[in-house]
Amino acid sequence: MNTHTAQKKLSAIIACYRDAPAIPVMHQRLTTVFKKIGVDYEIIFVNDCSPDNTRDILAELCTRDKKVIAIHHTRNFGSQSSFTSGMRIARGDAVILLDGDLQDPPELIEQFFGKWREGYNVVYGVRVQRDTARFMKIAYKAFYRVFRAASYVPMPLDAGDFSLLDRRVVDALNSLPESNRFIRGLRSWVGFTQTGVPYTRPERMFGRTTNSLLKNIQWARQAIFSFSYVPLDLIVWLAFITVGASLCGILLQIVLRIFCPSLAPRGFATLILLILFLGGVQLLCLAIFGSYLAHVYEEVKRRPPYLVESFFNYPAPGNGIKDKGPDALP
């Protein structure tokens, strides 16, 4: 259990992509929450090369409020890299991860903070309800349950990246060498004491979502191939089933040929169907092998998960942070 004194520092990390209108609102709501719970704080906005006027809004905000830090990436690396980028310079005793579209309500931080004060090292938001299409609600629910069943690490249900992480957890995540990151999976992998806080996830306050069905499928694929070997086990079972079915088919063919020749399958149609079936099984196996191989290939290249173009209000060295200068790469 952690012993928390009255005055602590929290770091909020916000991944921003096409979220320019939401940034001032996010800043105002976060500031209100932090002042209400009586903590020191810093707010780190990570501009993941957003094509809107995010840079200009952050420049004005950083000039006006020195507690705001802006990180600008050289291109769009994704939300997981944005959170990683922020965590590597965060100086808080705990770090809060939020999406920049305000679908993660900042007001929930007060409950996160209370659970952290109780001694939990990780406090994550549990999406008990979503303001989205019925099909997507069902798809999200199904994914989290399949992911939990398939993963070799216990995964919480309906929990996204929105969470509070103790400094020890952040240091553990920062020490992991992998570049192809799935934060909510790594958060479970590192362990520590964890608990969830239920909330309703609202629709975006501004603009339209940048997510799509294809992106969500790619997201699910990354999660499963990062934290599960079930697809490889599936290949073994497919092999057993295919071999078993083939043996049964051979025996059936022999029996029919002997006792009822008129019912025995014959002709090219049967042969073509069998070839297509076996070809489909082989392609599925190759696809699974290929996905794992691609994942390994990305890691062995040892490319960094992001590159920083520039900082604004770069924090002074502390908590293991090295002073890299305003235009340094990680």
pLDDT tens sequence across 198-227: 888 777 666 566 665 666 677 677 777 777
d(CA 227, CA 231): 11
With a cut of 70, say whether residue 2 has pLDDT above it.
no
Q: Are residues 308 and 280 in the same domain?
A: no
> Is residue 73 within 8 Å of 47, Cβ to Cβ?
yes
d(CA 192, CA 202): 29
The stretch 120-134 carries a mean pLDDT of 79
With a cut of 60, say whether residue 171 has pLDDT above it.
yes
- The three-state secondary structure class of 140 is helix
Q: What is the pLDDT of residue 11?
A: 92
With a cut of 80, say whether residue 47 has pLDDT above it.
yes
Q: What is the pLDDT of residue 12?
A: 93
Q: Are residues 208 and 239 in the same domain?
A: no
Q: Is residue 317 part of a domain?
A: no
Q: Are residues 157 and 286 in the same domain?
A: no
DSSP letters, 265-299, are: --SHHHHHHHHHHHHHHHHHHHHHHHHHHHHHHHH
d(CA 235, CA 285): 6
With a cut of 50, say whether residue 323 has pLDDT above it.
no
Residue 139: partners with Cβ closer than 8 Å, 6 or more residues away: 216
Window from 75-79, 112-116, 139-143, 161-165 with minimum mean pLDDT: 139-143
Q: Are residues 207 and 250 in the same domain?
A: no
With a cut of 90, say whether residue 13 has pLDDT above it.
yes
**Residue 192, Cβ neighbours under 10 Å: how many?**
15
With a cut of 50, say whether residue 141 has pLDDT above it.
yes
13 vs 128 pLDDT, higher one: 13
d(CA 41, CA 312): 16
With a cut of 80, say whether residue 103 has pLDDT above it.
yes
Q: What is the pLDDT of residue 121?
A: 93
- The three-state secondary structure class of 309 is strand
d(CA 234, CA 56): 50
> Is residue 58 within 8 Å of 312, Cβ to Cβ?
yes
Band (pLDDT 50/70/90 cuts) for residue 330 is very low
Percent of the chain whose predicted confidence (pLDDT) is above 90: 17
User: Tokens 């020890």 correspond to what residue?
Assistant: 168
Q: What is the pLDDT of residue 14?
A: 92
pLDDT in tens, 262-290: 666 666 666 766 777 777 777 777 887 77
With a cut of 80, say whether residue 113 has pLDDT above it.
yes
Return the top range by mean pLDDT from 45-54, 145-154, 245-254, 283-292: 45-54
Report the CATH number that the domain containing residue 102 is assigned in CATH: 3.90.550.10
Q: Are residues 134 and 269 in the same domain?
A: no
Q: Is residue 94 part of a domain?
A: yes
User: Tokens 């909330």 correspond to what residue?
Assistant: 199
Q: Is residue 329 part of a domain?
A: no
Band (pLDDT 50/70/90 cuts) for residue 49 is confident
Bridge-partner residues for 116, per DSSP? none
With a cut of 70, say whether residue 183 has pLDDT above it.
yes
Q: Is residue 1 part of a domain?
A: no
The stretch 106-110 carries a mean pLDDT of 90
How many Å separate Cα 117 from the centre of its chain?
A: 26
Buried b / exposed e across 137-169, counting CB within 10 Å, b at 16+? eebbeebbeebbebbeeebbebbbbbbbbbbeb
Q: Considering the chain, what is the average pLDDT of its residues?
A: 79
Helices 213-227, 134-150: axis angle to 10 degrees equals 10
| Structural domain for 88, as ranges | 9-212+303-312
The stretch 277-305 carries a mean pLDDT of 77
DSSP letters, 55-88, are: HHHHHHHHHH-TTEEEEEESS---HHHHHHHHHT
Q: Are residues 95 and 14 in the same domain?
A: yes
157 vs 307 pLDDT, higher one: 307
Give the number of domains in the chain: 2
With a cut of 70, say whether residue 3 has pLDDT above it.
no
Q: Are residues 275 and 195 in the same domain?
A: no
Q: Is residue 327 part of a domain?
A: no
Query: Token pair of 42, please?
Result: 């810093």
Q: What is the pLDDT of residue 45?
A: 93
Q: What is the pLDDT of residue 212?
A: 59
d(CA 141, CA 128): 10
